[in-house]
Amino acid sequence: MTAVQIIDDLVARPGEGKALLDAYMADYAPGARARGMVLDRVLVSPPLWMDDQPNTLTIVWNVEGAAGWWGMRLAAGADPSATAFWETAGARLVSRARRFAAAPEDVETLCNG
C-alpha cells in the first residue's frame, strides 16, 4: 500500500504556539485517529516557544493510499467535531495550510491507481 501524508502547517499567533499544539493534540488528534489517520511526526519551528513572534507547527499524518484518504475525508464530513476544532483554533492562528503529499517513488502508483 502507498502512504499518503496529510500535512497541517499551522502558523500560531505570537505566544500561542504551545497552547495551539496542546489543543490540537487534545481536541483534534483523537478524532483524527478515529478517522484512520496515523500520526507520523510533529515539528515546531523555530524549535523554541516564542512569545513575541509566530511559531509554525507542522503536523504530519499518514493514511493508506487514495482509499485511506477518502475514508478519512468522508468520516470527517460526518464528524462535526473536525470542523468545530478549526473554528475554535482560528483565534490562535495567523494562517494555516493543509497539504497532501507522497514520496516521489509513490507518485506513479498513486496516479495509476
Partner 1 sequence: MAKFTALITLQPGADRDAFARNIGDATLAQPTLPGVFDGGDLILHRQVANEAVPSDAAIAHIDSAVYEPIGGGAHEPGLRNGVYRCLLLAVKPGTPEATVRQFESETLAMPHYIGTIRNWRLSRVTKASGARVWTHVWEQEYADIGGLLGPYMTNPYHWARVDRWFDPECPEWIVDTRLCHSFCAFERSVLNP
For 47, other C-beta atoms within 10 Å of its C-beta total 7
Measure the CA–CA gap between 82 and 78, rounded to whole angstroms: 9
Measure the CA–CA gap between 100 and 6, rounded to whole angstroms: 5
Stretches 16-24, 38-46, 52-60, 97-105: which one binds partner 1 (CB under 8 A)? 97-105
| 82 makes contact with partner 1 (CB under 8 A) | yes
Q: Which is nearer to partner 1, 26 or 86 (CB)?
A: 86
Measure the CA–CA gap between 24 and 59, rounded to whole angstroms: 10
| 3 makes contact with partner 1 (CB under 8 A) | no
- Return the DSSP state at 25: I
**Grid-cell match 499567533, residue found:** 13
| 113 makes contact with partner 1 (CB under 8 A) | yes
| 53 makes contact with partner 1 (CB under 8 A) | no
Question: At its nearest, how many Å lie between partner 1 and the CB of residue 54?
Answer: 16
Stretches 16-24, 36-44, 51-59, 70-78: which one binds partner 1 (CB under 8 A)? 70-78
Measure the CA–CA gap between 79 and 61, rounded to whole angstroms: 18
Q: Which residues bind partner 1 (CB under 8 A)?
A: 4, 66-67, 69-70, 73, 76-77, 82-83, 86, 95-98, 100-102, 107, 110-111, 113
